[in-house]
Amino acid sequence: MRFDILTLFPGMFCGPFDESIIRRGRDKQLIDIALHNIRDYATDRHQVTDDAPYGGGAGMVMKVEPLAACIESVKSRQPASTIVMTSPQGRRLTHAVAAELALRPGLIIICGRYEGVDERIRDLFVEDDISLGDFVLSGGEIAAITIVDAVTRLIPGVLGSGESAETDSFCDGLLEYPQYTRPPEFRGLKVPEILLSGNHELIRKWRRRESLRKTRILRPDLLTGITLTKEDRKLLAELDHQDGATFI
């Protein structure tokens, strides 16, 4: 999969893209990442890419001409890629959205800056807006890194185990169950005996029950957005009995 990132600050990507899962995906040639400096497409000698907003107001707005030229240059070489804008007004980045983006041949990600981007960029080019949440960042670079990371780990072959992505939190709409490794006891806290039993079916049920428990306590809103199986409802009933709570 191909990622083309349009930014005013390409240096922000060096560390994150040279380590961990993203580095592994690049080494395996399963993903390709290209950074494009929007300033290179400005025509004045100072490479100005922002200007004061029409109508007045604080801050500056990214100019339409250099960004449009950058987009058109990249799109001409990657015609199958989807143009994405990192924006507070976009749809929230979720596991489902990342999985959808992972099916596309490539993404051209525009990193917004300052008070925003000239709206004509969105009118002319943008096919999708993505937001990390209801908060403000200094620019879209961190959001772009997050999108690349979330999408990359869903590309077959990137992770070391095919099961890894399937058991992540939110993959099935629930938070992930608790995880443990050696030693079996640390400072008086023991690993649940069932995980040491070797009984795969009992372990599977325990993990599902604990996933439901954690989700109900920490993110009960998620339970309203998934279809619970007959087994899920039985496990929730067991939790009601154990925890003295009632699931609605």
CA distances from 126 to 118, 129, 148, 243 (A): 12, 7, 18, 49
Per the annotation, the verdict on 216 as an active-site residue is: no
Per the annotation, the verdict on 153 as an active-site residue is: yes
- Of the candidates 10, 16, 88, 178, the residue annotated as catalytic is 88
Return d(Cα 234, Cα 241) in angstroms, integer: 11
- Of the candidates 129, 149, 168, 172, the residue annotated as catalytic is 168
The helix/strand/coil state of 137 is coil
Quick one: 71 exposed, middle or buried, by C-beta within 10 A (0-12, 13-18, 19+)? buried
Using alpha carbons, select from 198, 81, 64 the residue that is nearest to residue 128: 81
- Of the candidates 65, 115, 129, 172, the residue annotated as catalytic is 115
Q: Rg for the chain (alpha carbons), in Å?
A: 23
Number of Cβ within a 10 Å radius of residue 62: 21
- Of the candidates 153, 209, 213, 216, the residue annotated as catalytic is 153
Per the annotation, the verdict on 115 as an active-site residue is: yes
Helical ranges in 46-191 per DSSP H: 64-77, 95-102, 119-124, 141-152
Return d(Cα 110, Cα 144) in angstroms, integer: 8
Return d(Cα 245, Cα 80) in angstroms, integer: 51
Residues noted as catalytic: 88, 115, 153, 168
